[in-house]
Amino acid sequence: MKYAYYPGCSLHSTSREYDMSAKEVSTRLGIELIEAPDWVCCGATPAHVTMHVLSQALPVKSLINAKQTGADTMAVCCAACFSRLKIANYHVLNDPGKKAKINRAVGAEYNGEVAVKHLLEILAKDFGLENLKGKMTAKLDGLKVACYYGCLLVRPRKIMQFDDEENPTIMDAVVETTGAKTVDWPGKVECCGASFSITKTGVVLRLCRDILQLASDAGAECIAVACPLCQSNLDLRQPEVNKKYDKKFDMPVLYFTQILGLAMGIDWKKLGLDKHIVSPLKFLKGKNIIK
């Protein structure tokens, strides 16, 4: 189980806890993540708006470097990076015209031989849910989690082929291996406002309010996410949402890798649980999941 690992810029900065928990969980499960040598920015959402070829050349550059690790699959945690790499591979495999342009821009021959997988797919499909359940030492059966997928993971369906784009269930299955209960709620793939968080914060506040409202209506105690941008919008903006719409949301927003880490008995400092705005520590102590 050897994968080239593409952390992406946010996992090295604002959402370091996602990187820490992902690495901890993987090493504990025996999944070897070798960081792709001198990977570059994946271009995220702004790149394909400015220059199409650039938005695909950047991920291809990293995919070519990933070949040096000897693994034939690149593991990705961040939803935006996952989407960009997957789309680049799709164009290289299916559109000879674009492939020629990309190869010319990158200056090397790349035919889409490196596959791209999200950590969720690796855990659920390659590693297998049963083995995952076996690895869980502490049962979190008191915890009620709402799994939030966001939009980049599941769409566009033809290219991502990740899960059912209306009602995805892969994260629910992974989280349920820890014994926690996941709630069925309609906000799984609602938009969180993404990068409007900086330019039009009002929009993000309104959208996050809806999501948090739907989650709490469904009886969830915390939200599991797989994308740093969704996490920051829901977590960072939660106090402002409370202020603007005089709500009393106190909903911790955790990465699914952190939840897995807790269930595997990893110390919460190693999982970066102290880096959240809405601190989950009090809540987890209440549930005596952590001391």
Partner 1 sequence: MKIGVFVCHCGTNISAVIDVQKVVNDLAKMPGVFAMDYKFMCSDPGQNMIISEIKQKKLDAVIVAACSPCLHELTFRNTLIRGGLNPYMLEIANIREQDSWVHTDRDKATEKAVRLAKMAVAKAKRNQPLFPQEVSVEKSCLVIGGGIAGIQAAIDISSAGYQTVIVEKEPSIGGKMAMFDKTFPTLDCSACILTPKMVQASQSKKVKIYTYSEVEEIGGYVGNFNARIRVKARSVNMEKCTGCGICWQKCPVKVNSEFEQNLGPRKAVYVPFAQAVPNVPVIDCVNCTYYRSKRQNPESKGLCRICEKFCPAGAIEFDQKDKIIEEKFGAVIVATGFSAFDHKVYGEYGAGRYKDVVTALQFERLLNSSGPTQGKILRPSDSKEARTIVFVQCVGSRDESKGVPYCSRVCCMYTAKQALLLKEHIPDANAYVFYIDIRAAGKNYEEFIERVQDEYGVLYLRGRVSKIYRTGDGALLVRGADTLSGTQVEISADMVVLATGLVSNPETVKLGQMIGIPYDKNRFFTESHPKLAPAETQTAGVFICGACQFPKDIPDSVAQAGAAASKVLGLFSQEHLMLEPVLACVNQKICNGCFHCRAVCPYNAIDEEILKDKSVVARVIESKCHGCGNCISACPVSAVDLKGYTNEQILEQLQSLR
Give the contact letters, 125-164, x = binds to partner 1 (CB under 8 A), - = no.
Answer: ---------------------------------------x
| 3-state secondary structure (DSSP) of residue 267 | coil
Asked if residue 166 binds partner 1 (CB under 8 A), the reply is yes
By CB under 8 A, the count of residues binding partner 1 is 11
Is 217 a binder of partner 1 (CB under 8 A)? yes
Nearer to partner 1, 61 or 188 (CB): 188
Beta-strand (E) ranges in 133-244? 144-148, 181-182, 222-225
**Interface with partner 1 includes 186 (CB under 8 A)?**
yes
One-letter amino acid of 132 = L
| Alpha carbon distance 111, 103 (integer Å) | 9
- Contacts of 76 by beta carbon, 8 Å cutoff, 6+ apart: 6, 8, 82, 85, 116, 117, 118, 119
Report helix, strand or coil for 47. Answer: helix
> Which one of the spans 21-29, 47-55, 210-218, 267-275 is the region binding partner 1 (CB under 8 A)?
210-218
Please say which residue, 109 or 166, places its beta carbon nearer to partner 1. 166
Chain centroid offset of residue 95 CA? 28
Shortest distance in whole angstroms from residue 59 CB to partner 1: 27
Q: What are phi and psi of 224, to 5 degrees?
A: -100, 135
> Which tokens go with 146?
């709402």
218 binds partner 1 (CB under 8 A): yes
List interacting residues with partner 1 (CB under 8 A). Answer: 164-167, 186-187, 190, 213-214, 217-218
